[in-house]
Amino acid sequence: MGKELFIGADIGTSNVKAVIFDETANQLGESTRAYPTFFPKQNCAEQDPQDWWRNFTAAVKDLKSICSGRHVAAVSISSHVPSLTPVDRNGNAFMRSLIWMDNRSLPQCSRLEKHFKKLLQENTPAELLPYHFLPKLLWFRENCPEAYGRTWKFLQPKDYVNYKLTGRGMTDVSCAGLNHLFHVYDRKYSKEAAKELKIDLEKMPEVCRSADIIGTVLPEPARELGLSEDTAVLCGGVDTAMAALGSGILKKGDIIISAGTGGNIVFCTDKLAENPHLAVLPYVVDGLYLQTAVQVNIGGVLKWFENCFGEEYAGIAKRKQRDPYDVITQCAATRPAGAGGLMMLPFLNGELAPVYDPHTKGVFWGISPNTQRDDFARAVLEGVCLSIRQSMDMVEEGRSTADCIMVAGGIAQSAKWMQIMADVLQKPVVTGPGTAEAPVGNALLGIRKFGFCQEYLDVLPNLSAEYIPDPRNRSIYEKLSERFRKLYSMSKELFRESFRDGRA
């Protein structure tokens, strides 16, 4: 009889990633399936829940083909959050989901901040932003009243997939922690806040712990996926939390930059800082919380650059049979620190941390007759790192700073980008062995739940690389960091004017 298998998956902003492990934490396979995000108009970002399910099932089938005939003991899923995904009493998602990048609820957010700020901060210290679930909920109720009445439950992406697997509409404490109706300390919904806002708590999913088994796979999806009807489904968690677990963030003081299309700068703590800009997630490790600075624009900025200006790089990549992103970062690394005086504000789609400005946009500043093609590529990488540095300063304010920084996600696979990151942050940067930290965290959650390890440390993958700051670049990036802040400060009123004129 073969060893038990465990599937971990993550419903990301750009794709589903899934891994399959055996009970001794050996990774046997990985699958990635991409899907689109829709931007129907200004400040709107949507995804089709059916895309999540279709691509999750395809990824699981890929994994099962590798391990045909072997028993999968458990499945655990994480996802991007917070999204607004209404489903009816039959569990059907009858509209596109308003995902975390969606800012259309700015008026509702401003109204909540003005009239209910004190009440809501009793539940969580995090400042309310259009990013969060609650203003999205009010926008939906006000603009789609019939659909609101039709809604049985509001689910997060991973909770929707879990419902399709088990028929149970539930969520976990890390997802609920981003819902200002949920008290992050008492870990229950606030009846007082719901009453004041006239929100029906029956529409909210039941909350449990990430490692709790919410059910087993129903007969129809079991047949479709090649799973057994006794395969357990764990509740899972926020992608950030599961990526932290998969990267070995297990004690207070640990910091991780979890970066895909967007990302999070995450500080692990047992005592919450009174910083309203930081989101709060109850963690899978008992007694600990994650405080996070959420950034919209990280890996997605490089993708935008490749889409718009990557034709020459694509030609090089084709001739050398290499990935276009590798070519861009390699070419960027041939230019000196500071990109020949060129700087980028990477805020293409508005931004949360570090500026918390839904109107801000991207800027290239400092173009001269001496500016070269690869200076633009380097300015993109440096701009993202300078933005992360500003968020890091906010996360570490009033705390002892970490000796080194873990970076997880797709950008961690670029050695050139990670060296720039270390130089900009002026701290050693360490990375893991792959790009699937959140799926790995989910798989480890199942392995420990079923008793195949006593501690997560026993089964964590080894680190793969360390990048040491180049002291020759320290003074350059100190000056650039200050100039980066000034450039945004001097530009923000122009962003607002453009938004008011309808040209944003």
pLDDT tens column, 340-396 = 999 999 999 889 999 999 889 999 999 999 999 999 999 999 999 999 999 999 988
Say how many Å lie between the first and final Cα of the chain, rounded.
61
Q: Which residues pair with 170 in a beta bridge?
A: 206
Confidence of residue 1 (pLDDT cuts 50, 70, 90): very low
**Interval 23-80: pLDDT, tens:** 999 999 999 999 999 999 988 999 999 999 999 999 999 999 998 889 999 999 999 9
> Binning pLDDT at 50, 70 and 90, where does residue 504 land?
low
Residues 6+ apart with CB under 8 A from 170: 159, 162, 205, 206, 207, 208, 214, 235
Please answer whether residues 403 and 364 qualify as being in contact, where contact means their C-beta atoms are separated by less than 8 angstroms: no
Residues facing residue 405 across a β-bridge: 429
- Residue corresponding to tokens 């708590």: 201
pLDDT digits (tens, 9 = 90+) for 451-479: 998 888 888 877 778 999 999 999 999 99
Cβ distance 257 to 387 under 8 Å? no
Q: Among residues 91, 204, 189, which one has the least CA distance to residue 137?
A: 204
For the chain, which domains are there?
A: 5-247 (3.30.420.40), 299-431+470-500 (3.30.420.40)
Query: DSSP 3-state assignment of 276?
Result: coil
Alpha helices, H only, 285-396: 299-309, 311-320, 324-332, 373-396
And the tokens for 147? 């659909």
Number of other CB atoms surrounding residue 84 within 10 Å: 25
| pTM across the whole model | 0.87
Q: What pLDDT was estimated at residue 137?
A: 98
d(CA 253, CA 271): 10
Residue 405's pLDDT band, with cuts at 50, 70 and 90, is: very high
Contact 348, 316 (CB under 8 A): no
Q: Quick one: what percent of the chain has pLDDT higher than 90? A: 74
